[in-house]
Amino acid sequence: MEEMEHKYIEVNGLKLHIAEIGSGNSPVVVFLHGFPEIWYSWRYQMIAVSKAGYRAIALDFRGYGLSGQPPQPEKTTFLDLVNDILALLDALNISKVFLIGKDFGSAILSLFVLLHGERVSGIITMGVPFLPPQAPKYTEKLPEGFYISRWREPGRAEADFGRLDAKTVVRNIYILFSRSEIPIANENQEIMDIVQPSTPLPPWFTEEDLSAYGALYENSGFKTAMQVPYSNRSLLEQANITDPRVHVPALFIAGEKDYFLKFPGVEDYISGGLKSLVPNLQMVNLPEGTHFVQEQLPDEVNRLVLDFLARNS
């Protein structure tokens, strides 16, 4: 990705790695990754929006990829990541942005727009929609073998991942999360055991992509990465939010084959309560899309993103 410029910005006592492309005077689009993603997961969208005249910035969250590790990973919260984004915008003298989030990056986006709505021109979420401040029902009463149930147990994911190199861990998770079924392990099985070594990668995910992810996670490890989205804390901390509604234009891009849609209560929330919290919301379903729509179907996603930015810039 030679077009990208890579920088380290010091915020809140840590050096955050960002990848950037596009003119410094253009409207700014900030991309927030999920797990096991990293800045690299936005490569297609960053190039597309920069060619359309925007400035694209994707960061590695604290403890991910090339960003600094927090001194106490086990105490890292969603609110820490929100504060990092705010400090990053201030350090770069950026007053207002479009935010695009995927997976748990959508949860961070949700908290940011509720706390700092004056800094946001519009939001796009993928894989996971805007989430209200209270803990969503789908995180409660999960089956024992459910991957989130397993990864919530202190040290269990680290022990499971520790048997393998980082590249293999990323490979297995990309395979699992690209399926339409929720990853659930048997009683005497760990999550990494669900994937057989002979299972091929999704056709849109290359060995080159896997090597890029593997190298980044070799650098950061998984301790902080697992702490934030999979700890026992509520998904979004209460943070003096008086109005849980979003008042900026919004787009939710969902893959119809995304396993996340099968979480308890998710489809009811998307078809019911979501619109009341995000009145200016457009929802688009991609029939063949899985949990990684932005990497799987970059041309379709890019068209949707560019159309949204053009209408709301």
Which residue in the list 80, 103, 209, 258 is annotated as catalytic? Answer: 103
Q: Where are the beta strands (DSSP E) in 112-170?
A: 120-126
Pairing of strands 281-286, 250-255: parallel
Query: What region, left, alpha or beta, does residue 46 occupy, with left being phi > 0 and alpha being psi -120 to 50 degrees?
Result: alpha
CA pair distance 50, 220, nearest whole angstrom? 28
Which residue in the list 147, 174, 230, 259 is annotated as catalytic? Answer: 230
* Cα angle: 91, vertex 92, 98; to 5 degrees: 120
Active-site residue, 247 included:
no
- In DSSP terms, 10 is beta-bridged to 15
Decide if 115 contacts 82 (C-beta within 8 A): yes
Pairing of strands 120-126, 97-102: parallel
At 172 the three-state DSSP class reads helix
- Here the tokens at position 64 are 């991910």
Which residue in the list 160, 174, 217, 291 is annotated as catalytic? Answer: 291
Decide if 102 contacts 126 (C-beta within 8 A): yes
For the beta carbon of residue 184, count every other beta carbon within 10 angstroms: 16
Active-site residue, 64 included:
no
Active-site residue, 291 included:
yes
Tokens 């995180």 — which residue?
139
Pairing of strands 97-102, 28-32: parallel
Would you list the DSSP string of 27-60? PEEEEE--SS--GGGGHHHHHHHHHTT-EEEEEP
Closest of 194, 191, 189, 209 to residue 292, by C-alpha: 209
Residues marked as catalytic = 103, 230, 291
